[in-house]
Chains A and B, each alone.
Chain A
Amino acid sequence: MKHLKHPFTQAVLLIVGSWAFFKFVIPLFPGSAPVPQSVVLQFTLIAAVGVLVYVSENEERWTQFKAPITATLVDANKKWLRGGLLTVIPLFIGFVVFQAARPTVGSTAQLRSIHPAPPGQITFQGRSLALEGLENPLRSRGSLEEHYETGKAIYYQNCMPCHGDLLDGQGHFGHGFNPTPLAFDRAGTIDNLQESFVFWRIAKGGPGLPREGTPWNSAMPVWEDFLTEDEIWAVTMFLYEQSGLEPRTWGEEGEEHD
């Protein structure tokens, strides 16, 4: 307990504690992500400066704080500790420099946007098709249940190996591709998109992605080579039905796709 009251112990605990908070606690917040190393360092430095300002603000506290440091540097009976620190710290610095200087093997970072901007119109199987304002025609034609069953059969025969029975993007072939197949089972996926966008992505696949924003490296096939227009609309409908998500509609005034 006596040690805990000492300004030096308190300062060290505060600095280590704030580092641990930035490094380990922040990633646990819902919707958070691991904090980059450089940011952790910056935050910890700021915390350290704050702690030093506090410690040095009061003369008595400052003297108390300095005491163990001076003792380590000066006292005859701390000879071994002093020697140890003088050996360990330089070696540690050397190790850090070696790690930084060593060439690392890594593939280049692959940055890409998830949802590219769709074109206003596409050529589908040789015909021109305007995407803007386009609704899923099957929603106003025939039996929804039949369309769902059609879409289901198409999904299981064509899409399931990659996108999975669970719509989680982890079908039995999903792990073979990079980027991995898209999941449809959670908010923030197809519920951000109009059905015409989904139609476009299915019809044109990876090779039909716009040149902007490359590399896509998507393994999505060009489904207009395999499926008819109605079949693509049916499987689009199936995706929304099965996932329980609602497509975005054209009426909504929304922000741009990101």
Chain B
Amino acid sequence: MTNHGRLQVAACRLSAASTILLAFVAGLPGVLRAQDLENGKALYDKWCAGCHGMTGQGDGPAADYMLPRPRDFTFAIYQIRTTSNGELPTDDDLRYIVDNGMPGSTMPGWKDKLGPGDRDDVVAYIKSFSRFFEDGQPEPVAVARAPRVTDEGLAEGRRLFEEEVECIKCHGAEGRGDGGSAPELTDDDGFPIRAANLTENWTFNGGGSVEDILMRIRVGVDGTPMPSNGDAIDAGIITEEQLWRVAQYVRSLSPDAPPRRQDVVRAAFVEGDLPNGPEDPAWNDVEALYIPMVGQILEAPRWFAPAVDGLWVRALHNGEGMALQFSWDDASASPDEAWDPFFDGVVTSMVAPDAPHLEAQGPDHLAVQFPLTPPEGTVLPYFLAGDARNPVYQIRWRSNPDMAEEGTATGLGTFASGTGSDLTHGAAFANGRWQVQFTRSLTASDPGVAASFTPGESMPMAFYVADGTNAEDDVRGAVSAWYAVYLDVPLPPRVFIAPVVATLLTAGLGLVVVIQAQRRST
């Protein structure tokens, strides 16, 4: 071989080697990325596609049964961000939602199911549905620290809420999502969307802390009518401190902690008259039981997107009669023409799996039920309106025409009206909240129609609520499991005598021991 030939071979080898090296160096990130995406895709297909669809378009098998619907990742429009209005979210923003879910929606958090690396891979795969993410990451908005919460600050927050920032237009005067514009709100895809109920911060999609609220107000919730205040800050119309005041005021509309689940509400004994209406101030001091309400998805026609998610129940009795007060958030007193756009939106966007949708708004409904006869042992009637063997006694109210009736049922849709007590009722609607009171004698005049209540005993109790503007009626709505009401009795004397006797006995015994010991020692 000539020198020239050797040189050629060497050059060839060198270039081949460098090509391989170059390819390896250049390809390294690509290889890693492909692995992330492969794992992300496998996890996504298994756990996310049921709602968000195999191609990320928010069209999985469950999507038509949900309102709000699952996110369409191909548009890369994300509600919960720490970046400016109209910008992409950061990886941390996406990871936050994957980790914690979106309370108040059907999106669960995954941090107990998938490891941190897996969740990163899912985020990487979700981003791959849109080319927008190829241009890199935007910076989160820098936010100054919150001012201290003060009474003046909250009052300022309220003023801004009502006037400058105009939150009131959609969220309503008391924040229950009943503002004048609320009935016509739609998201960017044209689906109806509710203004958040600001009195339930545990249902806020992006979290319920003051910091979470501030960020939503600051950068907006993209894809929804919730605007950003970034421009207003830039233009000097409003300051960041003022936005903090709004956020603090909004946080103050919810209780410190979400309501705890309890099983029994105590009907305290009162001397004399029972409250004479649902708004009677006497109710303010009465302990309330919070009942989580969920969709009636047990019997046809099922309802997957109930409007009412909780009900507060109070009870009092005076030995002769009892009063029950119910309070729940509902943005409208149905039927309400102003809410026709919302009703139409629900009907066109939700699949009706078992029966056609209603054609027009009906009234709002409330029902409370008890076993018609005290349960034998621990067997209760079927919680969904009883069963053939174990009928239930129901008190039912509807908003329009405003009426209450009582009767019995042996299953969903089997209500038979009757008169078994001296039932009266009152109902009031204000600022996105219904308050209803039922009053009746403890003893039924006809035990075939109505249940009787005995002080000192627990009575099982279950509930039903429906919102007419949400295309609900007396079977499509929200249900609860069994709870109970306990009618208090005045404490019997032995409750006070026994401890006194025990205290005196113990003290006497102690004295005897001391005296004996002292006598022995001297």
Contact = CB atoms under 8 A, between A and B. Distances in A.
B486 interface: yes
Given A85-B510, A107-B264, A242 B46 contact: yes
Interface string B476-512: 0001111110100101001110111011111100110
A160 B62 contact: yes
Interface in B38-62: 46-47, 50-51, 60-62
Given A157-B61, A176-B294, A225-B300, A93 B503 contact: yes
A207 B387 contact: yes
Majority secondary structure, A binding face: helix
Given A93-B503, A101-B494, A108-B378, A156 B482 contact: no
B492 to A, nearest CB: 8
A217 interface: yes
Interface stretch (A22-30, A36-44, A164-172): A164-172
B261 A175 contact: yes
B481 A176 contact: yes
Given A70-B517, A219-B298, A108 B458 contact: yes
B505 to A, nearest CB: 8
B167 to A, nearest CB: 26
A17 interface: no
Q: Which of B264, B293, B507 has the most CB of A within 10 A?
A: B507
A97 B382 CA distance: 39
A73 B458 contact: no
Contact of B304 (A74, A97, A153, A161): A161
B499 A98 contact: yes
B293 A176 contact: yes
Interface string A55-69: 000000000000000
A91 B379 CA distance: 42
Contacts of A105: 264, 266, 458, 486
B188 interface: no
A80 interface: no
A147 interface: no
A177 B481 contact: yes
Contact of A214 (B261, B379, B506): B379
Contacts of A185: 113
B355 to A, nearest CB: 12
Nearest to A110: B378
Interface residues of A, number: 58
B499 A165 contact: no
Interface stretch (B104-112, B211-219, B221-229, B362-370): B104-112
B498 A101 contact: yes
A177 B294 contact: yes
Contacts of A164: 108
A155 B50 contact: yes
Nearest to A177: B481
Contacts of A242: 46
A94 B292 contact: no
Contacts of A87: 507
Interface residues of B, number: 67
B513 interface: yes
Contacts of A1: none
A192 B2 CA distance: 78
A215 B379 contact: yes
Contacts of A103: 456, 489, 491, 495
A91 B108 contact: no
B108 A156 contact: no
A251 to B, nearest CB: 29
Given A173-B294, A178-B482, A207-B387, A166 B264 contact: no
Contacts of B105: 172
A161 B106 contact: yes
B133 interface: no
Nearest to A180: B481
A102 interface: yes
Interface string A85-116: 11101110111111001110111111100000
A82 interface: yes
A221 interface: yes
Contact of A91 (B263, B460, B483, B503): B503
Nearest to A174: B294
A165 B108 contact: yes
A90 to B, nearest CB: 4
A102 B495 contact: yes
Contacts of B106: 161, 172
B284 interface: no
Contacts of B238: none
B518 interface: yes
Contacts of B507: 86-87, 90
Contact of A172 (B108, B264, B500): B108
Contacts of B484: 107
Contacts of A201: none
B423 interface: no
A87 B460 CA distance: 44
Nearest to B502: A97
A90 B501 CA distance: 10
A152 B53 CA distance: 12
A74 B491 contact: no
B51 A156 contact: yes
Q: Which of B299, B491, B502 has the most CB of A within 10 A?
A: B502
B3 interface: no
B150 interface: no
Interface in A176-224: 176-178, 185, 206-207, 214-215, 217, 219, 221
25 contacts: A86-B507, A90-B504, A94-B506, A98-B495, A103-B495, A106-B263, A106-B458, A107-B263, A107-B264, A152-B50, A152-B61, A157-B61, A157-B65, A161-B106, A165-B47, A168-B112, A168-B113, A172-B108, A175-B294, A178-B482, A185-B113, A206-B382, A215-B379, A219-B384, A225-B300
Interface of B: 46-47, 50-51, 60-62, 65, 105-106, 108, 110, 112-113, 261, 263-264, 266, 292-295, 297-300, 304, 353-354, 378-380, 382-384, 387, 456, 458, 460, 479-484, 486, 489, 491, 494-496, 498-500, 502-507, 510-511, 513-514, 517-518, 521
Closest 10 CB pairs of A and B: A176-B294, A94-B503, A153-B61, A156-B50, A173-B294, A156-B62, A90-B506, A73-B517, A178-B481, A90-B507
